[in-house]
Amino acid sequence: MSTDTRRRFAATAVTLTMAGALGCGLMAPVAQGAGHGSCYDGRCDITVSKPQTIKVDSRKFGFGKLKVTHISSRSVKFSATTTGGGAHLSGSTGPGGTVKLNNLKIWVKSASGHKAKLALFPTRY
């Protein structure tokens, strides 16, 4: 097999792998919430290493800013203020736990030191 043939074969394999990954949803292109951040639709994995504000769709969740207010290896604290009545929502959980604010669920996948890996996903109710 010549060098050119090997290169074409490798390029074809990479292209097919990428197409398969996109087709299976493993590498979905970012389109929803463009300009608002990757968590705007309430579906994302994010790592935070300090208090941070995450923009979400206020029409969908009743608040537009999810605030991560504290991170330690034992707990992560969240807060939000509703857009309609200005009610204050808050919650905290440790690694492996979830917090639900309105219909947005936040799963703390892991936490160590001052870094936390979170998964956000919407709920129906």
pLDDT tens figures, 85-106: 889 999 999 999 999 999 999 9
Alpha-carbon distances, residue 113 vs 17, 61, 105, 110, 116 (angstroms):
36, 29, 23, 10, 8
Domain boundaries, the chain: 1-30, 44-122
- Give the span between the Cα atoms of 60 and 20, in whole angstroms: 31
> 93 - beta bridge partners?
76
pTM over 0.75, yes/no: no
Q: What pLDDT does 21 receive? A: 42
Which residue type occupies 111?
Answer: A
Tens-digit pLDDT profile for residues 7-58: 554 444 444 444 444 444 444 443 344 456 889 999 999 999 999 999 999 9
Q: 3-state DSSP call for residue 66? A: strand
> In 3-state terms, what secondary structure has residue 5?
helix
The Cα–Cα gap between 84 and 59 comes to: 10
Task: Round to whole Å and give the CA distance between 90 and 26.
Answer: 32
